[in-house]
C-alpha cells in the first residue's frame, strides 16, 4: 500500500518531538468557553490552542505565540505534538489551522533562533522546521489553513503544506516566500512545494523577487483557494472542510500520498545534508549581518 509504506518511511525518519521540548506545558485540558461535553473540551499547550469538536471530527488549532506567531523552537515542537495527538485519535479527520494573534497568521522563522546562535542550535532548529513540514505535508488528516493575518515565508510554508487555503480579504495580509529579500534562499523542498502549488514559471518569478501577494493576487496566482471577508474566514474554512471530508478517507489519503510522496521523500533522503547546508549558510558572517540588519529594521519600524 502506497500510503502505509510512505507513512512508515516518513515515521522512521521523523524526530521524536518530545525530545525537543524546552519549558513547554503540553497536555493541558480545559473546558471550552460555553462548556459542553468531551467533544467541546480544549487541549493544547502554551503556544498552540486546540479546540476539538468530536461530533464533526474537526479540530481548530490556533497558533498563539504573540506578538506575531514567529516560529520559535517551542512553537514548532508544540505544533508537531498537537498534530500528532490529533493524528493518533481516530475521532478526528480534519484540522483547521489558524492564528490566535490579531492581524498575523505567522511571521515565519523566529529570526532570533538563527541570529547570533551557535551551529548546534541552528541545526536543532532547522530539524524542527523540517519536522513540522513533513508532518503537515504528509498528514493523513484534511488540513485547511484559515489565514487570518499576514503570512510571509515560514508562515506561507505552513499554509502551503495544508490541503486548502482560505485568506481574509485585507490588503495587509500578504502571503508568499520573501526569503530573497532577507538575503536567504528557500530550501529545495520549499521551492518544490511552491512549484507544486502555483507552477514553475510563477514560482521562479515569485521566489526570485521575494513576492508577497495581497489577497486578490494570491488568489489569481493560485496560492490560496478562496479570499473572503475577514469575518467569514472561519465559516468558509469549515465549509471547505466539509467538502473535503465528503470524500471517503482512504481514497483521499491514498491520493494525497500519491501526489505528495515524491516531494517529501526528496527531503527525507537528504535531510542531514539539508540541515548542514542550512547551518553553514546561516552561520556565515555575511548572512548573519543581513539577518541582524533585517531584524533591526523590523524593530525600528515600530511606533
Ligand X SMILES: CCCCCCCC/C=C\CC(=O)SCCNC(=O)CCNC(=O)[C@H](O)C(C)(C)COP(=O)(O)OP(=O)(O)OC[C@H]1O[C@@H](n2cnc3c(N)ncnc32)[C@H](O)[C@@H]1OP(=O)(O)O
Contact letters (x/-) for ligand X, 135-164, by CB under 6 A? ---------------x-xxx----------
178 binds ligand X per the rule CB under 6 A: yes
184 binds ligand X per the rule CB under 6 A: yes
154 annotated active-site: yes
All three cell numbers of 247, joined, read 470524500
Q: Which of 91, 107, 89 is closest to 99 using CA atoms?
A: 107
104 binds ligand X per the rule CB under 6 A: yes
Nearer to ligand X, 226 or 275 (CB): 275
Tell me the CA distances in angstroms from 261 to 47, 57, 169, one per residue in order: 29, 25, 32
Q: Which of 71, 186, 199, 183 is closest to 136 using CA atoms?
A: 71
210 binds ligand X per the rule CB under 6 A: no
109 annotated active-site: yes
Least Cβ distance, residue 29 to ligand X (angstroms): 30
Binding test (CB under 6 A) with ligand X, winner from 186, 206, 207, 267: 186
222 annotated active-site: no
Binding test (CB under 6 A) with ligand X, winner from 7, 50, 107, 218: 107
Binding test (CB under 6 A) with ligand X, winner from 78, 163, 179, 192: 179
What pairs with residue 109 in β-bridges?
71
**Residues 229, 168 contacting (CB under 8 angstroms):** yes
Q: Which residues contact 195 (CB under 8 A, 6 or more apart)?
A: 203
Site for ligand X in 41-100 (CB under 6 A): 67-68, 70
How many Å from the N-terminal Cα to the C-terminal Cα in the chain? 56
Exposure of 168 in the CB half-sphere (CA atoms within 13 A):
21
Site for ligand X in 109-128 (CB under 6 A): 109-112
Binding segment (CB under 6 A) for ligand X, from list 39-47, 54-62, 181-189, 248-256: 181-189
- Select which of 57, 154, 176, 210 is catalytic: 154
Least Cβ distance, residue 89 to ligand X (angstroms): 30
Site for ligand X in 249-288 (CB under 6 A): 277-278, 281
Nearer to ligand X, 146 or 184 (CB): 184
- Select which of 179, 182, 212, 240 is catalytic: 179
Binding test (CB under 6 A) with ligand X, winner from 17, 52, 187, 215: 187
- Catalytic machinery residues: 109, 154, 178-179
- Binding residues for ligand X (CB under 6 A): 67-68, 70, 103-104, 107-112, 150, 152-154, 178-179, 182, 184-187, 277-278, 281, 298-299, 301-302
Amino acid at each position: 500500500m502506497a500510503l502505509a509504506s510512505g507513512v512508515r518511511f516518513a515515521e522512521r525518519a521523523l524526530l521524536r518531538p518530545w525530545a525537543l521540548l524546552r519549558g513547554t506545558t503540553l497536555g493541558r485540558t480545559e473546558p471550552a468557553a460555553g462548556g459542553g461535553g468531551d467533544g467541546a473540551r480544549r487541549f493544547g499547550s502554551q503556544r498552540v490552542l486546540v479546540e476539538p469538536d468530536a461530533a464533526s471530527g474537526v479540530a481548530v488549532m490556533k497558533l498563539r505565540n504573540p506578538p506575531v506567531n514567529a516560529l520559535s523552537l517551542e512553537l514548532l515542537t508544540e505544533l508537531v505534538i498537537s498534530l500528532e495527538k490529533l493524528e493518533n485519535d481516530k475521532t478526528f479527520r480534519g484540522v483547521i489551522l489558524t492564528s490566535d494573534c490579531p492581524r498575523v497568521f505567522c511571521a515565519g522563522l523566529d529570526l532570533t533562533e538563527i541570529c547570533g546562535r551557535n551551529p548546534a542550535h541552528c541545526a536543532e532548529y532547522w530539524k524542527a522546521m523540517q519536522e513540522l513540514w513533513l508532518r503537515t505535508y504528509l498528514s493523513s488528516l484534511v488540513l485547511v489553513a484559515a489565514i487570518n493575518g499576514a503570512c510571509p515565508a515560514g508562515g506561507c510554508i505552513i499554509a502551503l503544506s495544508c490541503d486548502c487555503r482560505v485568506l481574509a480579504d485585507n490588503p495587509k495580509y500578504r502571503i508568499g516566500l520573501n526569503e530573497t529579500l532577507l538575503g536567504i534562499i528557500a530550501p529545495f523542498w520549499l521551492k518544490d512545494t511552491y512549484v507544486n502549488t502555483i507552477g514553475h514559471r510563477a514560482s521562479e518569478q515569485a521566489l526570485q523577487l521575494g513576492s508577497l501577494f495581497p489577497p486578490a493576487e494570491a488568489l489569481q496566482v493560485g496560492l490560496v483557494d478562496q479570499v473572503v471577508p475577514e469575518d467569514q474566514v472561519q465559516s468558509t474554512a469549515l465549509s471547505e472542510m466539509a467538502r473535503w471530508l465528503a470524500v471517503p478517507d482512504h481514497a483521499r489519503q491514498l491520493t494525497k500520498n500519491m501526489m505528495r510522496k515524491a516531494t517529501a521523500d526528496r527531503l527525507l533522503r537528504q535531510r542531514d545534508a539539508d540541515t548542514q547546508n542550512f547551518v553553514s549558510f546561516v552561520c556565515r558572517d555575511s548572512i548573519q549581518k543581513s539577518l541582524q540588519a533585517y531584524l533591526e529594521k523590523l524593530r525600528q519600524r515600530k511606533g
